[in-house]
Amino acid sequence: MKRIIVAGAGFAGFAALKHLGRFTGTSPEYEVVVFDRNDYTTIIPSLPDVASRRMDQDLPKANIRRLLPRGAVFVNDEVRKADLDARTVSTGSNEYEYDYLLLAAGSVTNLFGFKQHLDPVHVLDSLPEAVRLREAFGGYLSSGAAHTLLVSGAGYTGVEIACFLSEHAIANSKNMKVILVEKADKAVGNLPEPERRYVESLATDLGFEIVTNSSVVSFDGADVTLETGEAFRNVFFIWASGSKRAIEDISGGFGSLPDGRMHVNRFLQVSGYENVFAAGDCAAIKNGDIYLRRAVPFSVASGATAGKNIVRSLENRPLKKYRPVDLGWVIPVYPSSAGKVLGIPVRGRLGLAFHYLTCGYRTHDLRSARGYLALGLKNIFGAR
């Protein structure tokens, strides 16, 4: 029997499983084993909604076991290690051999070695972290009179969560100062300049202070000091300064970017390993001269190509090239948005509606799809 392991049941993993499942359901000589540290899959772009109580925590979830293709085996455990030369993955307690491996475990927050008083430091890379942030933020807002939200990182995740939490504070009649600390010389520097300036102006109109060319050097559990010497007292601290590959311990002779994304060829095979594929956030996929940004549409499309190519490889058929198609992007910066769809700028409530409707389209659960549809329509026609 040949074993195909899929590490991570997110956007890329499930897109691959659609193809792998059709194949293995009818072929008893193949076994598909799916690993995920959670027993549910998550619409990750909804984490700011959950953290700011705009969305129930169950809406972006769908049960993995119920969605798996016939014949696939689910292991609800974390992949801690992969050895590409030995062809094994390990969960710590068990080791599994594979014939084919798809790495699709996405990315997690990179703290870049920051380890001061981590308990009250919040990140936004998984549903449990979004729920933890939500609970802690509720407690923070209800204690004391002066509130300061300090976000390390003014990329899109940093600005997005700051906007959502600021709106939540306003809705609860709480005064909150918002500080965004950015190492680079400008906020959301990876966006095209007109959209970048628009997002920055939204943040400054909301009264946010953006400190550029600086970073957090110390945090004692309540107070933060920046590289510039500026200090902020009793802050609610969120770290959104970068991300890295979710499975760090992967040994083998492959190349990777500094953030751990693994180099793949046009067929999404990891460099040097014909039987190992990577898709989604953990793959460094070149599109012309640049690497694709981390985004849901590319994760789904690359996962689907990787799944098809594993099937083709098992059938000794030629592999298909992955050709990325970029239809656009929208960043929800509540109560507005910024983006470009099919080259047309999209802003405001229309962009928010588009965001929720595309999340609904991506969910695997009918109840969730209905929830997202309602949110989309509310942003087109109704109140906030």
Q: How far is the CB of 38 from ligand FAD (least distance, A)?
A: 5
- DSSP annotation of 44: G
Report the C-alpha gap between 25 and 34 in whole angstroms: 14
The answer to the question of residue 299 lying near ligand FAD (CB under 6 A) is yes
**CB-nearer residue toward ligand FAD: 65 or 317:** 65
Residue 294 lies near ligand FAD (rule: CB under 6 A): yes
Sign of the alpha-carbon torsion through 78, 106, 243, 133: negative
Query: Interacting stretch for ligand FAD, rule CB under 6 A, among 7-15, 219-227, 267-275, 376-384?
Result: 7-15
Judged by CB under 6 A, which of 78, 83, 99, 326 binds ligand FAD? 78
DSSP at 276: E
Does residue 40 sit in helix, strand or coil? strand
Collapsing DSSP states into helix, strand and coil, what is residue 351?
A: helix
Among the residues of the chain, which ranges form H helices? 11-24, 47-51, 64-67, 127-142, 156-171, 193-205, 296-314, 348-362, 366-381
Q: Which region among 104-112, 133-141, 220-228, 308-316 touches ligand FAD (by CB under 6 A)?
A: 104-112
Among 105, 176, 238, 264, binds ligand FAD (CB under 6 A): 105
Would you count residue 295 as binding ligand FAD (CB under 6 A)? yes
Q: Within a 10 A sphere around the Cβ of 258, how many other Cβ atoms?
A: 8
Residue indicated by tokens 């920046």? 226
CB of 46 to ligand FAD, least distance (A): 8
Of residues 32-61, those binding ligand FAD (CB under 6 A): 35-38, 41, 44-45, 47-48
**CA separation, residue 68 to residues 8, 12, 304, 367, 383 (Å):** 12, 14, 15, 18, 38
Closer Cβ to ligand FAD, 44 or 353, answer by number: 44
Q: Which tokens belong to 224?
A: 């933060």
The residue (of 40 and 226) whose beta carbon lies closer to ligand FAD is: 40
Q: Does residue 280 belong to the site contacting ligand FAD (CB under 6 A)?
A: yes
Q: Does 247 bind ligand FAD (CB under 6 A)?
A: yes
Residues that bind ligand FAD (CB under 6 A): 7-13, 35-38, 41, 44-45, 47-48, 78-79, 104-106, 124-125, 157, 246-247, 280-281, 294-297, 299, 355
